[in-house]
Amino acid sequence: MATPDKMKSVQAKAPNTLQIELASGKSYSVSLAEPMTQLAGFAALHDPAIFATAQVVDHGWTIEWACGLSMASERLYQMGKEQSGEAFPVAEFRAWMTRNGMSLTTVSDVLGLSRRAVSQYSSGARPIPKVVGLALRGLDRTSRAR
């Protein structure tokens, strides 16, 4: 059985979006606007001709551009899930932890999750389930109501 984050195909959509299809058949439209503006290494992708060279390599585990820049399929998969609303954004998770002064251990205790799961969510190693994001927002509302 194919791993859900392995890429089957990619198509560049102007000016900064990739249409990715997973080996499972699921597809996502993934905007790269944020990394293209925040990371100097992604500057070459502002050239539409270079952006259009995106292709699946490494047996579906990587997207690569003609300029040599590459991006792991796992990250694109996670971005696709976040942007489609299927997963809670990592940046919001980290901001919530910081805002509440919580360690990985404290968050795992509060949410009833393993510390390993919380660590993987915080590092971006795994998509954060929507239900976890809803729990964080609920905890914020509860604490504001006090």
Task: Please choose, from the candidates 102, 93, 142, 144, the residue with its C-alpha nearest in 3D space to the C-alpha of residue 120.
Answer: 93
Cα–Cα dist 88/90, whole Å: 6
In the CATH hierarchy, which fold is given to the domain comprising 7-84?
A: NE0471 N-terminal domain-like (3.30.2020)
Q: Classify domain 87-145 at the CATH superfamily level.
A: lambda repressor-like DNA-binding domains (1.10.260.40)
Contact 13, 45 (CB under 8 A): no
Helices 115-123 + 104-111 axis angle, to 10: 120
Give 32's pLDDT tier (boundaries 50, 70, 90).
Answer: very high
Q: Tell me the pLDDT tens digit for each residue of 86-97.
A: 888 888 899 999
Using CA atoms, how far residue 129 sits from 16, 52, 126, in Å, is: 26, 31, 9
pLDDT at site 49? 94
Going from N- to C-terminal start, the domains of the chain cover 7-84, 87-145
The whole model's pTM is what?
A: 0.73
Three-state DSSP at 94 gives: helix
Cα–Cα dist 101/30, whole Å: 31
pLDDT at site 142? 77
Contact 83, 31 (CB under 8 A): yes
Average pLDDT over residues 93-121: 93
